[in-house]
Structure 1
């Protein structure tokens, strides 16, 4: 059976992930993502009302024209998890393919909301929900199967999909870390990865996320970030001024910890911002998390400002707002607070907790720098980098290679500089660049069989 891999997006940058695997005449697309930095660099752009061709020209979503060079039919679109760099282009591109979206429950709920918000294109794609540990047949041959293997990441309900073919398995390894003690959900299923590496024809190809491939050591568990965050929040228990926290809206485990620790020090937590309301509300509705009954979630501008007014009237010392804006996004709550555009007034000594690292990309770095300076000019004390990454460092990569023992490797999810550490790592394990390690770029097709 002929096996081809089309590296469509995310092979020259972090963002707009999209990969297609052709097994015979059956094609499966993994991820359709957005490069948010290409959008944020422009003022007041709303992607939901834009044409896909304009977004492709901006470099914001994948240029999927290479799909016409694959001889077969798309049988499934499979997003690995609910981050926008993996699902943000589904509403713009899925209508081009007569194929269902197959994803885990939380991911599919977020995809459904993306499709509902879309204003330019209509999509009647069927949404098929599949849990980690399950398998479904792909195509009509009866020889190609799709399996979901549970992984841990900085968002709940993440998986690594595996396409089983007569020539061996294709493992799509974006995005994960090895967390054996997660705050929410099950640990990464390393037992199943080891089984896949040793059953049948083994692993034909492993496509790997190289975000932290230049970093030595091991990525810590989310429990490490939780305890660091606990220490920081508890240290503020006797402070009688304002405390504000921000983190990734999609990081439900981190939001859960912030909510619990706010309550522990006698403050009422409140979630503010459109994406904060979306992700946490969806997670609660699907029973992934159990928030207190009186936890407020407000996304609309008027309701957010009303909440800020209430906080100021009843006393900042009684509340802990958890807001959007960890990357300094111009329209996010924390940035507006720094510019003095909300009813919440920051005073000298007020605490601002960033439970997130800045994403290493020039647009994000510039915006985050500006946001922190604005907050500091109002007298806020900034607590930075209370976080652990959602991606493997070098020791995790070694462990995955040992578990899967792939014949071919395709590094992804980075630019050339970011891929270099992973190429060195695979070389140390006996692989060779150009022979079985294939450094690709967007729009390429790699024929493996």
Structure 2
């Protein structure tokens, strides 16, 4: 069977991820993501109101014209998880393909909201929910399986195409977590079984391939967060926390620990409202009485209440960990909300700066503004959602693929993974394939 892999987006940068795998006459598209940095540098951009061609030209979404070079029918669009760099272009591109969108229940609910927000295109693709461990038929000779993985968002999966040539594993994004907070552990046993059965191709996320060691468990970030907040137990002033809105496990820990130190947690921000309410609707343990305010007027009222009743009684959890210009924490830093910082107030960043110049610059500016108001910064209370070097070593040992395609990074970011793969016996140009956006890798003729 002919196997071709179109590396459409995410092979020269972190973001706008999109890959298509053709197995015979059947094509499966994995991810349709947004390049957030290309959007953030334009302060007035509203992507839901823009045409796909304009977003392609500005480098914000994948240029999928290479799909015309694949001979076959698209049978499914498969987002691996609900981060915007994996689902943010679905509203712009999915309607071009007569295929269902298949994902985990949490991911599909987020996709549904993306489609509802889209104002330029009508997207009526069928939405299909599939859990880790389940399989669906793609064609006469191809099936797709979801393997449960752990990441910095619940509901992440690694899709696997089972072909006559062996398995094709799409490995973006994951970390090996044996003790996560809200969901099942990483399914390493299944990856080992796939390795024993035969893996023809492995597409791997290289985000942290250059960092030594292994990525710690979310449970370690949870304990670090608990220890940090406990150290404020006797502080009577303001404490503000920020993290990824999509990181439901981390948000749930913040809510729990706020109560442990005698403060009422309040979630503020549109994206905080979206992800937390979606998780609660799907049965994740989010307290029914948790106050969440996404709309501007309700946020303003919440801030006034915090100031009137005393900052020491509350722990607002807000958006803005990357210093995004319109996010809550940045507006607080610019003194654009009723919340006022006093000398010594604490700001907890339970997130790491995404290593990209736009994010780094915006985060630096936000921290400077916070410090000018007297805030004390508590940073790096976080663990990554991506594998480090030893995690990649474990995965290669487990799946033992015939072919490897590094992804989810610039060429310089891919280099450490290439070094590791070469140390395991792979050779660039033979079974280790370095590609760029818009290319097609022919693996089997």
TM band (smaller chain): over 0.9
Q: Secondary structure at the match of 2:133?
A: coil
2:170 to 160, 169, 172: 172
Q: Following superposition of structure 1 onto structure 2, how do residues 317-336 of structure 1 map, counting pairs within 5 Å?
A: 317-336=312-331
Q: Per the alignment, in what secondary structure is the counterpart of residue 220 of structure 1?
A: coil
Would you say 1:266 and 2:277 are equivalent positions? no
Take 2:313 and 2:74, find their aligned partners in 1: how far apart are those partners?
Answer: 54
Which segments of 5 or more consecutive residues in structure 1 lack a partner in the other structure?
A: none
Give 1:207 shift. 0.2
Per-residue deviation, residues 328-355 of structure 1 (Å, max 9, x unmatched): 0000000000000000001100000000
Does 1:98 find its partner at 2:98? Answer: yes
Cα offset, 1:198, TM superposition: 1.0
In structure 2, what is the equivalent of residue 111 of structure 1?
Answer: 111
Q: Are residue 75 (structure 1) and residue 75 (structure 2) matched?
A: yes
1:250 counterpart residue number = 246
CA positional deviation for 1:294: 2.2
Counterpart for residue 21 of structure 2: 21
Instruction: Tell me how far apart the structure 2 counterparts of residues 102 and 294 of structure 1 sit (CA, whole Å).
Output: 32
Question: How many angstroms apart in 2 are the aligned matches of 1:384 and 1:352?
Answer: 8
Q: Residues of 1 paired with 2:368 and 2:297: CA distance?
A: 26
Aligned equivalents of 2:202, 2:258: Cα separation in 1: 42
2:279–2:286 CA contact under 8 A, matched in 1 = no
CA–CA distance in structure 2, aligned partners of residues 334 and 323 of structure 1: 6
Aligned equivalents of 2:184 and 2:290: distance in 1?
Answer: 25
Secondary structure, in 3 states, of the residue corresponding to 2:364?
A: helix
Q: Partners in 1 of 2:268 and 2:130 — Cα distance?
A: 31
Residue of structure 2 in register with 1:146 after alignment: 144
Separation in structure 2 between the aligned mates of residue 304 and residue 45 of structure 1, nearest angstrom: 23
Q: Spell out the pairing of 1:218-229 with structure 2 (5 A cutoff).
A: 218-229=214-225
Distance in 1 (CA, whole Å) between partners of 2:26 and 2:425 is 32
- Matches of 2:436 and 2:294 in 1, distance apart? 38
Deviation at 1:363, TM superposition (A): 0.2
2:434 matched residue in structure 1: 439
What's the secondary structure of 1:74's corresponding residue? strand
- Cα separation, 2, equivalents of 1:195 and 1:400: 12
Q: Counterparts of 2:347 and 2:195 in 1: how far apart (Å)?
A: 46
Q: Distance in 1 between matches of 2:182 and 2:236?
A: 32
Deviation at 1:417, TM superposition (A): 1.0
**Displacement after TM superposition at 1:304 (Å):** 0.5
Normalised by the length of structure 2, the TM-score is 0.99
Please name the residue that 2:195 is paired with. 197
Secondary structure in 2 aligned to 1:256? helix
SS of residue in 1 equivalent to 2:12: coil
Counterpart in 2 of 1:298?
A: 293
Residue 291 (structure 1) shift: 2.4
Which stretches of structure 1, 4 residues or longer, exceed 3 Å deviation after superposition? none
Look up the match of 1:284: 280
CA shift at 1:237, angstroms?
A: 0.5
Q: Distance in 2 between matches of 1:92 and 1:260?
A: 38
CA distance in 1, matches of 2:287, 2:95: 39
Q: Distance in 2 between matches of 1:44 and 1:306?
A: 25
- The aligned counterpart of 1:181 is 179
What is the CA–CA distance in structure 1 between the aligned matches of 2:134 and 2:117, rounded to whole Å? 30
Aligned equivalent of 1:238: 234
For the residue of structure 1 that corresponds to 2:146, the secondary structure is strand
Deviation at 1:295, TM superposition (A): 1.1
TM-fit CA distance, 1:292 = 2.6
Query: Which position in structure 1 is the counterpart of 2:212?
Result: 216
SS in 2 for 1:448: strand
TM-score normalized with structure 1 length: 0.98
Offset of 1:293 from its aligned partner? 2.8
Does 2:49 correspond to 1:36? no
Residue number in structure 2 paired with 1:368: 363
Q: Does 1:377 align with 2:372?
A: yes
Task: State the Cα distance separating 1:43 from its structure 2 match.
Answer: 1.5
Shift of 1:218: 0.5
Pairs aligned (count): 444
Give the secondary structure class of the aligned counterpart of 1:244.
strand
Q: Which runs of 5+ in 2 are unaligned?
A: none
> 1:44 & 1:174 partners in 2: Cα distance?
30
Provide the secondary structure at the position in 1 that maps to 2:27.
strand
2:277 and 2:319 map into 1 onto residues whose CA distance is 14
